[in-house]
Structure 1
Amino acid sequence: MSTPVEFSSHGPPETVLPTGPQETLDALEDAGVDPEQVASVVAANPLLLAGWAQLGDLAAKRTNAAAGQIEAYAYFRIGYHRGLDALRQNGWKGSGLVRWAHESNRGFLRCLDGLRRMAETIGETDEQERCAQFLLQLDPDWQPR
């Protein structure tokens, strides 16, 4: 016999990822738009979701469109999966809110949105739709970035 799912009277649970070390965030900011410097920060801090998002954004802007799109897709996918791991480690049970309003959630949401954009770009329509739906489930106020 199955157990009924019960929701709290306060609505769905909300998960807020912890903020990374300030020196790591500062290093990422200092790296700016230099792909080599950003990659160095991410290599030293592979759990930094904002770093994966930054690498994806930079790769997507490269002049070699096809290679940049695939590289961006890969960076965003890595950040997305590392973000799912981080969410689970912080109490997320596969559903509930992960809002953009919390700065520390933005790296994960940027990776998921980047994955959505790159999936659309390379013709992965099903994945693009799943990502778009997931973003709205995580944050009903989500606006594509």
Structure 2
Amino acid sequence: MAPEYAGDGIFSKKSDVYSFGVLVLEIVCGMKNKGFVHKEHCNNLVGHAWVLHNEDRSLQLVAKGLGESINVSQVLRSIHVGLLCVQRHPEDRPTMTSVILMLGNEGPLPSPKEQGFYVGKSKQDTTQYSTSFELSSNNDLSITMLNGR
């Protein structure tokens, strides 16, 4: 969900671009953004991709099951475009037309800016938070559809 919608309830023209960027990163990684857990930090998938990109380690995002069957330049380009799509401010995100052109061409790409929902917490911060709230419950929801005879 785009940050502007989650935070302010404002749906922008670029909200779908944000969702597409998350989808691209999920495909490359082979994991969903929701529920993504990393042993070294508490970022979501988008934050993790951002950290790896800034450290020039984007290939570590690639799903292990893909092995050597990947085209490295296409995967790196996909990650880069995905990060451009999930930038915090809608005006910084490309249009979907631009996204298609960027994915289909070999030209240079602009540098992405900080991502929406990037959380820079350490593992220690989260451990302290989780131990202070040991009692929790799952919010399970069931819906029953009533049908007349």
TM-score normalised over the length of structure 2: 0.25
Higher Cα Rg, which structure: 2
Indicate the structure with greater helix content. 1
TM-score in terms of structure 1 length: 0.26
